[in-house]
Amino acid sequence: MSYDRYKKIDKRRVIDSPKKAIAYVKAHSIKTRERMLFCLYLDDNLQPCFFDAYPDEMQMETATAQRDILRKAIQLGIEKVVIVTMLDLENSQVGDPLQDQYELVEALNVAGIEALDHVIMSPVGFMEATRSVLTSVKRSWRKVRRLPAPVAA
């Protein structure tokens, strides 16, 4: 079960940069903890459809978050997601704190769902995984083409 079970969100915004993704997460999350996983489900115009948050225990110890994210994306017909991870990098456990997120992005790619970015938030700032850690995230924000809005007949 997710923390904010498939929260319906405002579709007027366009999420086309890591800063906008972080601002959206901060504006729509009830309470952020030191280690949480957030998922923004985007439509073809990069407008958010749903927002989900997963607490530390669920994201780090089980594959429940991965299954929930994949299931919801497939049910909605979503082809693009943005993953935002909040980490306290100074107090992280021994080993790679992002291993579960690597696996999540790989699972999304196998299912044909594009992970536009994996943004890692910390108390001192943020880092885009497209430029650093995750090689499986294929495209940067600048390469994503937004579709024109449908014209009313």
Could you list the pLDDT tens digit for every one of the 153 residues in the chain? 444 444 555 556 778 777 788 788 777 765 655 667 788 888 888 888 888 877 765 554 556 667 888 888 888 888 888 888 776 655 555 556 566 677 777 888 888 888 887 777 766 666 666 544 443 344 444 454 444 445 555
Residues of the chain by 3-state class (helix, strand, coil), percent to 5: 35, 25, 45
Q: Which residues contact 88 (CB under 8 A, 6 or more apart)?
A: 34, 35, 122, 123
Strands (E), 1-140: 7-8, 36-42, 48-54, 80-86, 114-122, 125-128
* Structural domain boundaries in the chain: 7-142
Tokens found for residue 29: 């999350």
Read off the amino acid at residue 37.
L
Select the CATH number that applies to the domain covering 7-142 from these four: 3.40.140.10, 3.40.50.200, 1.10.3720.10, 2.60.120.10: 3.40.140.10
